[in-house]
Structure 1
């Protein structure tokens, strides 16, 4: 062992711990399969190792070692492609699909978290070598706090006020509040929808929120998360029982119609509020107008 062994090991361990923290499974239940987790932990280990050895390499003027970071970046892009391809294939068998926008957001998150691991292990190793192990511990704590902040994006609850509205029929037309959802011709289906359906109105808080909620990918993410958490009352080949989200063209409100197995208003409100605002759906027209 030499003077760099303990700093590198410390950075490596903290980096792996950061990746494990970012890999936790939530109500969206991804990833749940063991081998998927192993892949991400292994890539996180490599990322952590790269971040930890950068500082000793630079201190020893081994600048060529830094070029490995460029190779790592290309490998992490492959992780992104792998997640995108895997989820796109799996999405074809979902009763309520995630949608391409949601899948792309997940893929970007998995790639970016490896870069966070590199930065975490780099900061810890640098603090250890530059000052001492106490500084490394402080750097580890600060890095983990930063990781927590950076991995938690915005949510629908931050951009909209959400309220429950019982779906209703006007003739064959299904409405949530005043927003038309779809036409249901069969009386049996109407009865099923009234018994099992739930409606929600999302009122955007500003012009930016109105555009974000209007994004089709953001709407699909809301439908998917509610259906994943509370179940969905439908099967393949039942188009009348498809959850939908439609806009009120007059004021930009979003009407959400779902058919959950568990009709719990409070849970559903909490789930919708916790749906992430997708990066690709965020628009800021008010900022553009100011410019």
Structure 2
């Protein structure tokens, strides 16, 4: 019991560590958040590993611990949401409510992954011993391998799309027409920049970004035009490359705008380091929000720039 319990808990924690790699890339976190997630992974894995032996001993009341765990993990989700919302006012670029909810939901779901993998590992161990009559060490090895395989399967299932999966990203020129009207690519009227010094900063340090839906697909375009998704893209740029502005400089707040000619998204951004390749990678790595999907399902058989169904 002790050996298989430790193995099951270890696999549960390992599953969370594997997913932490994704979390760190998409949601930059502090060291204390990392520690709290590992502690929660241990708790969740322990609950999953204890459930099967308890049920074998006919301790059916142990199921109530799962409901308590679910309630606790929902509380973790709420606490994470509240923490991020409290930080919004001090951000140069806000995450937005949609992105905050996506992060909070992810923190909750990943804990359930620990329960599933540890429970499956120890459950398979007893199943193999009792049904196939295989030696304990061999059964432990087989169940551990299956548990690790389940971890990789869950990782693949839980992996979300990124902007790079649904759109192409291009760098376009920033210019000004009629003296102070910003033009990015072939879209003018982005905003009005009155001060000459502000216009010079855009021209010298700014980078124009155009995000074009792949396959001329309206479904992909609908994701880009979701207000929460737009804010997430801008925040992802800010979190990775910084933003060359102060709180009292509203002229440099990134404003995503729709280009009706291509149904693309246009952004003028001033990073701390003007590196076009890093800009493209930052946009492509931005996660696609669950709340942004399914907005244009009625147009899924239509292509941008073409009339009628395809």
Alignment of 1:1-291 (within 5 A): 4-24=1-21, 26-27=24-25, 30-34=28-32, 36-131=33-128, 132-171=139-178, 172-179=180-187, 180-205=189-214, 206-283=217-294, 285-286=296-297
What are structure 1's unaligned runs of at least 5 residues?
none
Q: Does the C-alpha gap of structure 1 residues 221 and 289 become closer, same or farther in structure 2, counting only changes over 3 Å?
A: closer
> The residue matched to 2:240 in structure 1 has which SS?
helix
CA distance in 2, matches of 1:85, 1:103: 9
CA distance in 2, matches of 1:287, 1:158: 21
TM-score by length of 1: 0.92
Deviations 1:29-85 (A, max 9, x none): 632132x22322222211111111121122222211112111111111001001100
- Does the 8 A contact of 1:211 with 1:282 survive in 2? yes
CA distance in 1, matches of 2:117, 2:294: 30
CA distance in 1, matches of 2:28, 2:114: 20
- Does the 8 A contact of 1:227 with 1:260 survive in 2? yes
Cα offset for 1:28?
Answer: 5.1
What are structure 2's unaligned runs of at least 5 residues?
129-138, 302-310
Q: Which moved more, 1:82-91 or 1:281-290?
A: 281-290
CA RMSD of aligned residues (A): 1.8
CA distance in 2, matches of 1:228, 1:10: 37
CA distance in 2, matches of 1:11, 1:129: 12
Q: Does the C-alpha gap of structure 1 residues 153 and 86 become closer, same or farther in structure 2, counting only changes over 3 Å?
A: same
- Does the 8 A contact of 2:19 with 2:110 survive in 1? yes
> The residue matched to 1:23 in structure 2 has which SS?
helix
- Does the 8 A contact of 2:51 with 2:63 survive in 1? yes
- Does the 8 A contact of 1:16 with 1:48 survive in 2? yes
> The residue matched to 1:57 in structure 2 has which SS?
helix
TM-score by length of 2: 0.87
Aligned residue-pair number: 286
Cα offset for 1:282?
Answer: 1.2
Deviations 1:188-223 (A, max 9, x none): 111111111111111112111111100111111111
